[in-house]
Structure 1
Amino acid sequence: MCMWPSATTNWITMMCLKKSWLFTFSKFLIAPSPSTLRPAITFAFIMAKQLRDDVQEAYNLIKDLEPTTPQEYILKGVVNAALGQEMGSRDHMKIAQQFFQLVGGSASECDTIPGRQCMASCFFLLKQFDDVLIYLNSFKSYFYNDDIFNFNYAQAKAATGNTSEGEEVFLLIQSEKLKNDYIYLSWLARCYIMNKKPRLAWELYLKMETSGESFSLLQLIANDCYKMGQFYYSAKAFDVLERLDPNPEYWEGKRGACVGIFQMILAGREPKETLREVLHLLRSTGNTQVEYIIRIMKKWAKENRVPI
């Protein structure tokens, strides 16, 4: 669970990379149709290719398969990665990574598009995103305007710190299904914040229905905005978190963000009028510390003739 940043808290929490390892293999991999594969794995192949959710059944169909072709090795990798993601199983993720590496490193496949896709997938699972980009860039031209490719490419860009290009690529995606995926929303929000556009990240949250995912996005906004010194939106996010969950850490985060806004007002980096909303956020808290902070802010406002 993301909490507000402190000296000992790592504010970067890698987002779950659900489905991120799956590229559009079908464009190059499926020269033979699924019907030419062994009958026992036909359904599993179709299921994996189409991103259906019955991953366990797909795994049951292929778990005893001894792969003999690159397609079958890739299928084993895809299904193990999907199951590993669903179950939180490092063992399955490790197996998937090994299958992808086996195909991508083979002499017959290393210079093919599927082979390079496999190496990109392998490094994605290892979270070695600089290496991911080396392989993605090698066949990027074949996937012009491909939403799934862009979904992975944007994540890799953002994960290596290039949030500006990551944002651009995320915004190229047209698929409504992907655009409503929490992974898309959370990474785009992070890009917005790192690119000094916290209001756009906040608007992503406002468009979401109340859910566990919207709560997680609030945590991300609160933490990342705090880290970036974007205290106004950090305070707003912590305020909602505090009202949803009376965890004292959310009050501590809101307190720190509100004090941060006040310091920016004193330095002339934030409009004085913002103080009114800061006081409103503080008054919504029942913590005993709040009155002391409010008194200091109101005293300054009175001395500087700032209407509150």
Structure 2
Amino acid sequence: CINMFRPGSAVKRKQQQAKVAAPTGKPKEEKLPEAKDFLKDRDYTGAITLLECDRKYANKHDIKTLMTMAYACFHNGDYKKAIDTYDELMRNHDYDRNLHLYKACCLYAECRFKEAKKECEKAGDSCDGSLYIRLMFQLSHKLGEETAIMNFHQQLTSSVEDELCIAALHYLRNHYEEATEIYKKLLLENRDFHALNAYVALCYYKLDYYDVSLEILAVYLGINPNS
């Protein structure tokens, strides 16, 4: 039998397609990304872009969306946008008083220390007391309130967050050896806190131990080469 069809004809193509087995099962659906996926990778710009689309096209203005937006903006360095978002959340009648502390963190990052202190004081007794103490401890230093520094220092605990807060103040007050001791202690207790190596390296740099600083920094960069 002579094949009367040209190799590239439409009929020939249909015959070839018919020979291909039909795929079995349902095609795998692509999962749409969520903000938490971007936050997990510390892609704050990606998270903000997604959340803005949700607000614009899906009209999402719920508390969770706004809180995530403010969090992402803060970590992305867009403190003004984070402050605006917290202000929007505080327009709700029964808002979380911790929002004042979160806004105060943004004001602190913008070096608006007096405003940050006033915002902390608005939080009231129902707020996160540990965050309030850490913030006021740092703000007291920035505002030169030595008595307040001592008062808040006495209220700090041995938690990791409080220890880091104390180390930060030691560094700001040029007490690099004291800061280094705290960072080393925390590193021994928390081996996966790799960023502490960078803090230790910075302290040694300030102490003029440049070779030691470079060695310790190399440990951190070996784990986080894109930092």
**TM-score, normalisation: structure 1:** 0.40
Of residues 52, 68, 75 in structure 2, which corresponds to 1:101?
A: 52
Q: Distance in 1 between matches of 2:67 and 2:145?
A: 33
Q: Distance in 2 between matches of 1:209 and 1:120?
A: 28
Q: Distance in 1 between matches of 2:145 and 2:99?
A: 25
More contact order relative to length (CA 8 Å, sep ≥ 6): 1
Superposed counterparts of 1:165-184, under 5 Å: 165-174=115-124, 178-181=128-131, 184=132
Q: Which runs of 5+ in 1 are unaligned?
A: 1-63, 68-72, 227-233, 254-308
- Which position in structure 2 is the counterpart of 1:90? 42
- Which position in structure 2 is the counterpart of 1:77? 35
Q: Distance in 2 between matches of 1:202 and 1:135?
A: 34
Call closer, same or farther: CA 1:128–1:186 in 2, change over 3 Å: same
Of residues 124, 131, 134 in structure 2, which corresponds to 1:186?
A: 134
Residue 217 in structure 1 maps to residue 161 in structure 2: no
Give the superposition deviation at 1:211: 4.6
Of residues 83, 86, 94 in structure 2, which corresponds to 1:133?
A: 83
Of residues 150, 166, 181 in structure 2, which corresponds to 1:202?
A: 150
Larger Rg: 2
Q: Secondary structure at 1:141's aligned position in 2? A: coil
- Which position in structure 1 is the counterpart of 2:73? 123
Give the superposition deviation at 1:159: 1.5
Call closer, same or farther: CA 1:124–1:143 in 2, change over 3 Å: farther
Q: Deviations over 1:269-307 (max 9, x none)?
A: xxxxxxxxxxxxxxxxxxxxxxxxxxxxxxxxxxxxxxx
Aligned Cα root-mean-square deviation (Å): 4.0
Superposed counterparts of 1:227-306, under 5 Å: 241=179
Give the superposition deviation at 1:129: 0.4
Q: Secondary structure at 1:142's aligned position in 2? A: coil
Q: Distance in 2 between matches of 1:80 and 1:138?
A: 23
Q: Secondary structure at 1:210's aligned position in 2? A: coil
> 1:146 is aligned with what amino acid?
D
**TM-score, normalisation: structure 2:** 0.52
> 2:42 is aligned with what amino acid?
R
Q: Secondary structure at 1:215's aligned position in 2? A: helix
> 1:187 is aligned with what amino acid?
L
State the percentage of identical aligned residues.
9
Q: Distance in 2 between matches of 1:134 and 1:99?
A: 18
Q: Distance in 2 between matches of 1:144 and 1:201?
A: 32
Q: Which runs of 5+ in 2 are unaligned?
A: 1-28, 186-199, 208-227
